């Protein structure tokens, strides 16, 4: 009880007669009524102090037990356990030594169970850490500015490389966890729960969600590939379509325009002027007109045909 020695000495005259019989008590007034009443009050006080100290010791052991369960991810009801301890101590139906011994046994069993769960819990921690990196990597891949030369960009790039390696190991890690959890449950005949949730159910749910995400990614890739193929086909169609022909009337003719019209056709004034100048200059004028009125984009004719054409014209114009 850790009672100070000064308090113990106050009742030495009483405690010395605890093991003595009535005949052995020889001190006068040792069994006086007022002394007995004082002893009763002291015993009641010590009982209350004992109950208070027992609660402190029991709650300390309960806290140790709860810490073991928390690290082992075993769900318990600490409030109900503490209430049960208080009820047992206040009722006085249990000896303090029995209560403390029972709690020591609970702590020992909890340590054994935590040790049996350690290997699986280590892999669960790795799996959850990999899931966090997987979530971060998805957000990183959706960031369009991830390759910008900003502060910390190279650190994020290194983290992304490590995260991809870790994420690729998740399927094998999940398969190992499932196998070890099933073996543990078959060996102990109980369900392996992680913070109150069956671990196998957690793994099955993750596998389903991961499969759905993979299917969604595959669907997005196929849709993107389909759109790119459509765009490529449309570009090919537009590039193969011929350009509209330029109108003939707007085409500019390059050639001499001094004695011709704007569209390159020889002017008829040249032949009329040559007729008025007489037959002597018909041949020369005809040759000059022929030489001046032949644009570069017209088909050339022979000299004999040209001479016959202009001579016939001179004859017709010379007749009355």
What does each C-alpha distance from 42 to 30, 56, 61, 293 come to in angstroms?
16, 21, 28, 148
153 or 20, greater pLDDT: 153
Inter-CA distances, 69 with 122, 152, 203, 249, 314, Å: 15, 40, 22, 97, 129
Of residues 84 and 33, which shows the higher confidence score? 84
Q: How far apart are CA 294 and CA 313, in angstroms?
A: 18
Q: How confident is the model at residue 30 (pLDDT cuts 50, 70, 90)?
A: low
Residue 189: domain span: 5-144+153-236
- pLDDT at 275 > cutoff 50: no
Asked whether residue 260 is domain-assigned, the answer is no
Residue 131 lies in a domain: yes
Let me know if residue 310 belongs to a domain: no
Of residues 151 and 45, more confidently modeled: 45
Q: Is residue 45 situated within a structural domain?
A: yes
What local confidence, expressed as pLDDT, does residue 6 receive?
Answer: 75
Query: For residue 14, is it within any domain?
Result: yes
Rounded to 5 degrees, φ, ψ at 260 are -125, 180
Mean pLDDT over all residues of the chain? 75
Buried b (16+ CB within 10 A) or exposed e, 60-69: ebbebbbebb
For the stretch 65-79, pLDDT in tens is 999 999 999 998 989
Contact call for residues 189 and 221 (beta carbons, < 8 A)? no
Q: Which range, of 36-40, 89-93, 235-239, averages the lowest pLDDT?
A: 235-239
The single residue listed with the structure tokens 């009820």 is: 87
The pLDDT tens digits for 183-235 are: 999 999 999 999 999 999 999 999 899 888 888 878 887 888 887 777 777 77
Q: Work out the pLDDT band at 141, boundaries 50, 70, 90.
A: confident
For residue 197, what is the enclosing H or E element? Answer: strand 197-198
**3-state DSSP: the chain helix, strand, coil percent, rounded to 5?**
70, 0, 30
- Which is higher by pLDDT, 62 or 294? 62
The first and second tokens of residue 16, run together, are: 């010395």
* Rounded mean pLDDT, 168-178: 92
Query: What is the percent of the chain where pLDDT is above 90?
Result: 30
Report yes or no on 174 lying in a domain. yes
Q: What is the pLDDT of residue 20?
A: 64
Pick the range with the lowest mean pLDDT from 135-139, 184-188, 295-299: 295-299
What is the reported pTM?
A: 0.57
Domain count of the chain? 1
Mean pLDDT of 2-10: 71
> For residue range 86-127, what is the model confidence (pLDDT) as tens digits?
888 888 788 888 988 999 999 999 999 999 999 999 999 999
The answer to whether position 93 is within a domain reads: yes
Close Cβ partners of 43 (under 8 Å, ≥ 6 residues apart): none
The string of pLDDT tens digits covering residues 252-270 is: 444 444 444 444 444 444 3
Q: Tell whether 181 is covered by a domain.
A: yes
Indicate whether 274 pLDDT > 60.
Answer: no
Query: What pLDDT does 219 receive?
Result: 86
């Amino acid at each position: 009880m850790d009672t100070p020695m000064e308090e113990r000495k106050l009742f030495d005259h009483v405690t010395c007669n605890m093991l003595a019989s009535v005949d052995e008590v020889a001190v006068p007034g040792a069994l006086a009524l007022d002394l007995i009443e004082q002893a009763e009050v002291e015993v009641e006080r010590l009982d209350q102090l004992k109950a208070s100290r027992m609660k402190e010791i029991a709650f300390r052991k309960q806290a140790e037990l709860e810490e073991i369960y928390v690290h082992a991810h075993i769900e318990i009801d600490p409030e109900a356990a503490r209430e049960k301890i208080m009820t047992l101590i206040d009722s006085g139906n249990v000896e303090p030594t029995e209560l403390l011994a029972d709690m020591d046994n609970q702590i020992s069993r909890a340590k054994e169970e935590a040790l049996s769960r350690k290997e699986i819990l280590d892999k669960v921690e790795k799996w959850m850490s990999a899931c966090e990196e997987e979530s971060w990597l998805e957000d990183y891949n959706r960031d369009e500015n991830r390759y910008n030369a900003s502060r910390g960009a190279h650190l994020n790039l290194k983290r992304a490389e490590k995260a991809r390696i870790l994420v690729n190991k998740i399927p094998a890690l999940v398969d190992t966890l499932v196998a070890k959890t099933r073996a543990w449950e078959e060996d102990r005949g109980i369900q392996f729960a992680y913070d109150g949730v069956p671990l196998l159910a957690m793994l099955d749910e993750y596998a389903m969600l991961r499969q759905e995400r993979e299917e969604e990614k595959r669907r997005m890739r196929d849709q993107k590939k389909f759109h790119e193929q459509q765009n490529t086909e449309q570009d090919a169609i537009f590039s193969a379509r011929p350009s509209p022909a330029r109108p003939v009337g707007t085409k500019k003719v390059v050639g001499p325009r001094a004695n011709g019209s704007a569209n390159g056709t020889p002017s008829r004034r040249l032949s009329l002027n040559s007729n008025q100048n007489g037959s002597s200059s018909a041949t020369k004028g005809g040759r000059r007109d022929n030489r001046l009125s032949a644009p570069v984009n017209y088909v050339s004719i022979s000299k004999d045909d040209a001479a016959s054409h202009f001579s016939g014209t001179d004859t017709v114009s010379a007749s009355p």
